[in-house]
Amino acid sequence: MGPPKTTGREVFGEHYAAEAVRRGESLGLSPGDLAATVTALTVETIAGSYERLLPGSVDEVYVSGGGARNPAIMEGLRDRLSVPVRDYSDLGFPGEAKESVLVALLANEHLMGTPCNLPSATGAREQVVLGSLTWV
């Protein structure tokens, strides 16, 4: 199985945080040092994944969610990556709306009859129009 396309509390939730605190305490880290370490790990994980997993370079990176509101993560990504790192809201709508915008885009493409899947990414045999229109 390939890398996740997105992640969140299902992986990095309460259990992950509790384990990080336990490990930090066992190493004698202060709460500030633990926060700085987890922040640095977050930045390095993102940057390292771009380097290892993307087929080529990117021109810019847009960050949404809690990371976009975290100045230390944004500064770390800007320092670590060699491309501009921007807040997703710079695209003209709030990052919190990205799922809603995606659903609207996919609905529009369905109505227009535009195939939107990527067989090279999904393993599908061919490109198809996604979704279905159901009248209720």
Going residue by residue through the chain (136 aa), what tens digit of pLDDT does each one get? 566 566 778 888 899 999 999 999 999 999 999 999 999 999 999 999 888 888 788 899 999 888 899 999 999 999 999 899 999 899 888 888 888 888 999 999 999 999 998 888 778 899 999 999 898 8
The residues that bridge with 61 in the sheet, in sequence order, are: 85
Q: Which residues contact 89 (CB under 8 A, 6 or more apart)?
A: 64, 68, 95
